[in-house]
Amino acid sequence: MEKKPLDQQVVRVMAWLLLYGRAKSKLGAEQWEALEKSVGAPPFKQMDPYDTTPLTAFNAALDFIGNSREQADSSLIAEAADDSVQGWAQQNRAQVQELQGKPREMLDVFLTQVHPWFFNETENSEVIESGPNHLLVKLYHDMRDEFNMGLFTAYCKLVGAKGQVENRGDQLYNVTWQ
């Protein structure tokens, strides 16, 4: 698999809607409006959730969130990922309930269904290594590392597991859970 150039990478409007649904209340309406203007956010509230928008603008929104306090804090980007996963979980309650206690299966759903859909790519991740309590995963897009790491830990948390992610660079992540 090869990664597309960043200017050709997209994310579905639904990603913006999930981000907006949680981040606006944390940032406040005024700061969210500043985010939209600053990053050139698409008019996502009027768009079909299935449409796509440039990943570059979404990454810029994540950067804005990470820099929204007096001192930059990349954990805010991971928190935005967790919030987005919580929004996804509310829409997919039955699947989340069915996979309670099964982090490996939940990560499989994330990597084979959720993740490809959000990036409008059928093959945008690869499991390099797999074990009973870990995955080594390569992602083929340029989403912010902190957001990717937050996604992995949040999907583990949905099913009652504690996930940890080691960033090995170049979009390669070692995901463990207990």
Domain spans in the chain, listed from the N-terminal domain onward: 6-177
Q: Which two tokens stand for residue 165?
A: 């992610």
For residue 26, what pLDDT band results from cuts at 50, 70 and 90? confident
How many residues are recorded in the chain? 178
- CA of residue 147 relative to chain centroid, distance: 5
pLDDT tens digits for range 98-142? 999 999 999 999 999 999 999 998 888 999 999 999 999 999 999
CA distance 88 to 55: 19
Q: Which fold has domain 6-177?
A: H-NOX domain (3.90.1520)
What does pTM read for this prediction?
Answer: 0.93
